[in-house]
Structure formats: structure tokens, C-alpha cells
Amino acid sequence: MTTIQPSAQSRRSPPLAVSHDPAPGGIPPILIVAGLGDSGPGHWQYHWLATHPGWRRVVQPDWDAPQLNTWAAAVARAIDSTAAPPILVAHSFGCLATVRAAHLFERRIAGALLVAPPDPDRFGAESQLPDRPLPYPAIVVASNNDSWIKLVTAGALATRWGARFVALDGAGHVNAESGHDQWPQGLLLLDDLILRASAGTRRRITR
């Protein structure tokens, strides 16, 4: 488990420089999977999309209805539209939809960054999620003061899925309300995931 204590300054510093090289051997496609209510203008997912025009956003039929299979189906359709297995960057309920989509619809993905997943029991979703290591690299990020999940529960999900677990100190639900607008620290985690997913490549999104 990795424990990180982010400062307010690190949450809001300017975006890091990135590469958009789509050539063979470059980074996989990136899909952004938001949580309930979608990610508004102050959310780090919104900023990442604005600064990375090649990345795409998964659109849900109803942002306020947490129907796991419906959300997972939308994620699966987005995966099908990519030219290669993508990396999914998910937040909150979008994390559950991401894992469910790859599992239920047997979609191949390159990796998943799962930020602030909620407790599956809050949505009656525990039995709908994989109970074994995921067949792709994943990182689970959670905070010790997130009202949507206890840190120990998030850690148990990471262990169950064979994912790297990153514990944040005082980061809330890792959203705009907790001060995570551009969140460059998250880009570093994504960078690490891309290196793990792209076996043998030296391509990085941050410099």
C-alpha cells in the first residue's frame, strides 16, 4: 500500500506537460468514466479532458440513476468504439461500472485507474463485482476521510482485485469539493499505470 499526503498546492498546480503521440507503441486510448451526477467544471476529470483532447468521456443515459448494469453497458459500448484496448480512468460509481463492464461483458481493457470507489454494499453491488484478481493492471485510490467508503474496505477491494492500493490522507472523495481540480498527482498515477499496461514501452504521458 502506498500512503500519500497531498498538499493543497499540489492539488491545484498547473497540468504537467503531456505527449499525444498516437503512433504505434504510444499510449493506449484513454476513456474517462465519471461518477454519479457526472464530473462538473471543477472536477479533475473535466480538466484532464480539456487538456487532453484525444481522451474520451463515457456518457451515461441517466447520471443520477445508479443502475450498475446500465452504466456498465455504456462503458462496454465506449470500449468497443476504441481502436485498441483502452485504459479507463474512473471516479466514484464509475469505478464499479468500469469493473463490472469488463467482467460482465468480457471486454478487454489495458488497465484501470479506480479513484474513490464507493462501498459496493451501498448500491447492493457486492455480488456483481469480480471476486478474484482482475485480468488487467489496476490502481485503487482512496482517502481516509471519504464518506462513501472506509479506507479498510477500499483496501480490501484492491487486495481482492490484485490492484495497487494508494491511500490518500485527508483527500475526501477526491473531487472538486475536496480541492482536487487539476490533480497532477493523479496524472502521475496514470503515468505509472500506462507503463505497466504498455509492456516494454518507454512512452510516458508526463515529462
pTM value?
Answer: 0.86
**Mind listing the pLDDT tens digit for each residue in 57-80?**
999 999 999 999 999 999 999 999
Flag whether pLDDT at 27 surpasses 90. no
Go through 170-183 and write b for each residue having 16 or more CB atoms within 10 A of its CB, e for each that does not: ebbbbbbebbbebb
**Mind listing the pLDDT tens digit for each residue in 76-98?**
999 999 999 999 999 999 999 99
pLDDT for 2: 64
Rounded CA separation 193/204 (Å): 10
| Residue 45's pLDDT band (cuts 50, 70, 90) | very high
Rounded CA separation 181/184 (Å): 9
**Mind listing the pLDDT tens digit for each residue in 124-156?**
999 999 999 999 999 999 999 999 999 999 999
Rounded CA separation 128/96 (Å): 9
Rounded CA separation 54/31 (Å): 10
Mean pLDDT value across the chain: 87
Q: Give the residue from 178, 147, 162, 182 showing the smallest Cα distance to 112.
A: 162
**Mind listing the pLDDT tens digit for each residue in 155-182?**
999 999 999 999 999 999 999 889 898 8
Domains of the chain: 35-197 (3.40.50.1820)
